[in-house]
Amino acid sequence: MSTQEKFNAVVLEKSLDNDFYEQMTEFANTFRKQRREEIIQQPNNAKKRGAFYRWRTTENLDKYLIEFESNFLKKGGRVIWAPDEKDIAKEVSAILAKHPDYSFEVSHSHIFEEAELYNTLSKPYHIVGIEASMLGEKREFSHPSFPLAHVGKEKANMFFNDFLGLKPRTDTKDWAEYYRDKANSKTHNKSIAFVNPRFALSDSGTLVFDGNNGLQASLVMQSNIVVALVGIDQMVATQNELETLLPLLSIYGQAETLSRQLLFVGGPKQSSFDEGPEEIYIILFDNGRSNVLAKPATRQASHCIQCGACHMVCPVFRMVGGQSFNSVNMGPIGEVTSQQQYSKKETKHISFASTNCGACTEVCPVKIDVHNLIINNRKDVQESGHTGANEKYLWLAWKRMMLKRKRMNQTTSLKSFMFRTAYRKNWGEKREFPQIVERSFNQMWVEQFGTGQED
């Protein structure tokens, strides 16, 4: 089964799941209501400043990456460059080989899935702390900021009660408190923490962690060794830019004025400090991001701050969820980046899973023109020759029919047969095919007014 066939199968399953749709819709509506209340207090030019900061960083990314590496090395940290997931597996295996008796913990993040880190750690090591997420072995998440948006509180209560042996909890604050207490109570002697910061500051060589549960902060401050995976598009030029970017991220990503916890890590523990990691490895991760940057038409997609706002307003995403994409790049912005980062042959169908309503562009806090980037991807698929022969013949037949009025006025049975033959596979068996009217608009016009275009 091809990637597109798998995608179609999952989409069909999710589109027929009313409980899933109601849960995603309820979550999105509640989130948007809270976000509107926060946006009222936001300066009008904040989005413009955020867009400018991201544009400036992207256009000078080579300079800022080198500056970040230099500043972080001065503080005693270590920087590793990894072009793809194979290099990450190699480097992580080398780090673990140096410390065979160390335990390690993973703070769940979509970038770990992208880097296939879990596969690297599972052989021959045991993942400690992976239960810090309900996602379990499947690790299916539906949103950058809310991985469990598709689950709902009822299923979460069942998880806490059955799997963890706890009383059902109905407040997400209680869930966060449980995991935070669990992380703080662990003995972190000889431990390695794998984390994913939100941003990396070029001017000071500092990692920025945000969140509301404190799990990553606990892992960073109480572990001996920290391994941080950082995408090259997570670079921020100066600390002053955070004054704009962090509130935008919180409002559009979490519907809050600011994250409850922020942690700035500038390097390994110094002799004058009691807490902090003794070693910090930063793995700068590319994995196709350079392909997005290389094309002027798609470079704007690298401005993304991973807030997930476009996911919440996308009608397709609310219908089928993030798991349908079978990729860490999900939602409208994921439709743009997937095709550039990975094989066009495997991802060409994703750009067509959009209504192009423009809601994603309107809501983006850094003013990315998402829906037009999706259209550009479709054009790229056509120009690169990745469309099938059947589709080309279909468009040729459509063109010939549209150029002649007599063909447009052909019998309904013939037109219905043509449409059913062309779209039967993609339309699916669960949906009723639309009925074509008996007479065309031209025929009705001629009957009423007596004149019309005959050729």
Q: What confidence tier does 169 reach under pLDDT thresholds 50, 70, 90?
A: low
The answer, yes or no, to whether residue 120 has pLDDT greater than 80, is: no
> What per-residue confidence (pLDDT) applies to 263?
85
> What per-residue confidence (pLDDT) applies to 66?
95
Among 204-213, 279-288, 348-357, 379-388, the range scoring the smallest mean pLDDT is: 379-388
> What per-residue confidence (pLDDT) applies to 130?
35
C-alpha–C-alpha distance, residues 423 and 350, integer Å: 18
> What per-residue confidence (pLDDT) applies to 188?
53
Instruction: Quick: pLDDT tens for 127-142.
Output: 433 334 434 444 455 6
Among 177-181, 190-194, 275-279, the range scoring the smallest mean pLDDT is: 177-181
Percent of the chain with pLDDT over 90: 16
> What per-residue confidence (pLDDT) applies to 132?
42
C-alpha–C-alpha distance, residues 184 and 326, integer Å: 34
Terminal Cα distance for the chain, rounded: 45
List of domains in the chain: 42-287 (3.40.50.10420), 297-383 (1.10.1060.10), 393-449 (no CATH)
Q: What confidence tier does 237 reach under pLDDT thresholds 50, 70, 90?
A: very high
The answer, yes or no, to whether residue 384 has pLDDT greater than 70, is: yes
Mean pLDDT value across residues 404-421: 74
> What per-residue confidence (pLDDT) applies to 177?
62
> What per-residue confidence (pLDDT) applies to 124?
42
How far is CA 108 from each of CA 386, 395, 451, rounded to the nearest angstrom?
A: 35, 45, 68
The answer, yes or no, to whether residue 156 has pLDDT greater than 90, is: no
Q: What is the average pLDDT score of the chain?
A: 76
> What per-residue confidence (pLDDT) applies to 125?
41
The answer, yes or no, to whether residue 106 has pLDDT greater than 50, is: yes
The 199-201 sheet, strands edge to edge: 235-236, 199-201, 206-211, 261-265
Q: How many residues does the chain have?
A: 455
- Cβ atoms of residues 365 and 305 within 8 Å: yes
Percent of the chain with pLDDT over 70: 67
> What per-residue confidence (pLDDT) applies to 128?
39
Query: Could you please report the per-residue DSSP string of 307-324?
Result: --HHHHH-HHHHHH-SGG
Mean pLDDT value across residues 88-106: 83
Instruction: Quick: pLDDT tens for 284-343.
Output: 989 889 988 988 888 999 999 988 888 888 888 877 777 677 677 788 888 888 888 887
Listed residue (90, 197, 186, 44) closest to 129, CA to CA: 186
Q: What confidence tier does 62 reach under pLDDT thresholds 50, 70, 90?
A: very high
> What per-residue confidence (pLDDT) applies to 399?
83
Mean pLDDT value across residues 204-225: 80
Radius of gyration of the chain (CA): 25
Token pair belonging to 15: 């589109």
Mean pLDDT value across residues 179-184: 59
The answer, yes or no, to whether residue 454 has pLDDT greater than 70, is: no
| CB contact set of 326 (below 8 Å; sequence gap of 6+) | 3, 6, 7, 10
- Cβ atoms of residues 283 and 87 within 8 Å: no
Amino acid sitting at position 266: G
> What per-residue confidence (pLDDT) applies to 181?
63
Instruction: Quick: pLDDT tens for 4-59.
Output: 666 667 666 666 666 666 666 665 666 566 555 555 455 568 888 899 999 999 99
